Amino acid sequence: MAAEDPATPRVQVAEQPRLLKLKEMFNSKFGSTPKFYVRAPGRVNIIGEHIDYCGYSVIPMAVEQDMLIAVEPVKTHTLQLANTDPLYPDFSTTANNICIDKTKPLWHNYFLCGFKGIQVELAEICAKSERYIGTEGGGMDQSISFLAEEGTAKLIEFSPLRATDVKLPSGAVFVIANSCVEMNKAATSHFNVRVMECRLAAKVLAKHKGLQWDNVLRLEEVQSKLGISLEEMLLVTEDALHAEPYSQEEICRCLGISLEELHTQILSPNTQDELTFKLYQRAKHVYSEAARVLQFKQVCEEAPDNAVQLLGELMNQSHRSCRDMYECSCPELDQLVDICRKFGAKGSRLTGAGWGGCTVSLVPTDILSSFLASVHEAYYQGNTSRLAREKHSLFATKPGGGALVFLEA
């Protein structure tokens, strides 16, 4: 007999009364046989009550009593739940739009929470995994990949990871246009230098405001520790940082540390050779961009008559800030953004890490076809290498669904 994975042992269901009962009920309810069973034990906490969520250690143990679930993967997007106890009624819902009614303690909510939780966990694992390539990304890509739902964008909040629908106004679509300039995030230090500049800015701002700065890693932490608005953070930035680039020596003086400490405790291996860091510009971009995200969400919620105009303006401001303050654009992206605006986009900006890659433009639906034709002519037509890739480089798109597993029929 082949060795078994202890977490997935094979059992003779006929010999296990509880499993057998479960199998029979499953069959009479759904007319099919479960493909696998899951067991999760109950637990008892021996000592340490109400302190785990405060960060302190506890001593629980699993008990022999358990919960059993019989599962059959289905090809539809419908989750169908049934309980052997008739006290708990059957429940079904669509898997790509899980809505948990928190007003009532319904039994099936626990299942739905697990389903949602796994999606979040997978997103965090994938974000952590990406760092092995050498870049210090933030987790946006992985989060939206798992948490996306058709028909809506999402506000993704971090620590803890949360996603909230942001319904985009009707009357306009997003058009993606590839600049056909490639920047390999993993092979160059552009990306990590920015991550480091933000980290250094956070530390210098924290120190300036008299906060414990050495464990501060993110600009958001400075804001939340101070308990002030993003607009106020922008004023603090004006006050505490200067526009001239900071040398490593100046950063050491600001933080009261040695060059050795700067290298070993703060900078990453691929940013240690940078001679200067722009802290003011990066912090200014981050706090102002964070404020624009909230304004964007608010416009979508309030949906005024000029929503498309307002959203477009926020996108344009974002591009300017990326270009001038964060310096993550490139001449081709700037040219493409100008072309898109010239031919009727209400807003256009670089999207993703930048230094190449794509733009996203907000385009009124009624001019979409002329817009696509004009951008084609202005950016792609005269250039053979761009033209060769144009089919996959210029298109309108809508908010789509998230990651899925497909099983062969």
- Report the interhelical angle of 279-302 vs 230-240 (nearest 10°): 170
Q: Which of 134, 138, 151, 344 binds ligand GLA (CB under 6 A)?
A: 138
Q: How many helices (H) and strands (E) does the chain have?
A: 13, 12
Sheet-wide strand order for 358-364 = 347-350, 358-364, 172-178, 394-397
Residue 116: Cβ-neighbour burial (10 angstroms; 0-12, 13-18, 19+): middle
Q: Which of 20, 133, 140, 259 binds ligand GLA (CB under 6 A)?
A: 140
Give the contact letters, 141-180, x = binds to ligand GLA (CB under 6 A), - = no.
Answer: x---------------------------------------
Contact region with ligand GLA (CB under 6 A), list: 40-48, 139-147, 252-260, 339-347: 139-147
Residue 99: Cβ-neighbour burial (10 angstroms; 0-12, 13-18, 19+): exposed
- Smaller CB separation from ligand GLA, 142 or 361: 142
CB of 398 to ligand GLA, least distance (A): 21
**DSSP string across 10-54:** ---GGG-HHHHHHHHHHHHHHSS--SEEEEEEEEEEEE--S-GGG
CB of 185 to ligand GLA, least distance (A): 7
352 belongs to the binding site for ligand GLA (CB under 6 A): yes
* Residue position matching structure tokens 């993993």: 186
Angle made by CA atoms 238, 242, 248, in degrees to the nearest 5: 140
- Smaller CB separation from ligand GLA, 286 or 336: 286
Let me know: does 179 contact 332? Beta carbons within 8 Å. Answer: yes
CB of 78 to ligand GLA, least distance (A): 32
Give 103's DSSP letter: T
Contact region with ligand GLA (CB under 6 A), list: 138-146, 246-254, 261-269, 381-389: 138-146
Name the β-bridge partners of 174: 362, 397
137 belongs to the binding site for ligand GLA (CB under 6 A): yes
As annotated, the active-site residues are 141
- Smaller CB separation from ligand GLA, 141 or 334: 141
Residue 230 region, left (φ>0) first, then alpha (ψ -120 to 50), else beta? alpha
Contact region with ligand GLA (CB under 6 A), list: 133-141, 149-157, 204-212, 245-253: 133-141
134 belongs to the binding site for ligand GLA (CB under 6 A): no
CB of 182 to ligand GLA, least distance (A): 14
Report the candidate in 304, 315, 320, 379 with the shortest Cα–Cα distance to residue 346.
Answer: 315
133 belongs to the binding site for ligand GLA (CB under 6 A): no
CB of 274 to ligand GLA, least distance (A): 19
74 belongs to the binding site for ligand GLA (CB under 6 A): no
Q: Which of 353, 368, 396, 403 binds ligand GLA (CB under 6 A)?
A: 353
- Smaller CB separation from ligand GLA, 92 or 129: 129
Length of the chain: 409
**DSSP string across 164-211:** EEEPPPTTEEEEEEE------TTTSSHHHHHHHHHHHHHHHHHHHTT-
139 belongs to the binding site for ligand GLA (CB under 6 A): yes
124 belongs to the binding site for ligand GLA (CB under 6 A): no
- Smaller CB separation from ligand GLA, 111 or 158: 158
Q: Where are the alpha helices (DSSP H) in 31-177?
A: 107-130, 140-147
Chain residues that interact with ligand GLA, rule: CB under 6 A: 137-141, 352-353
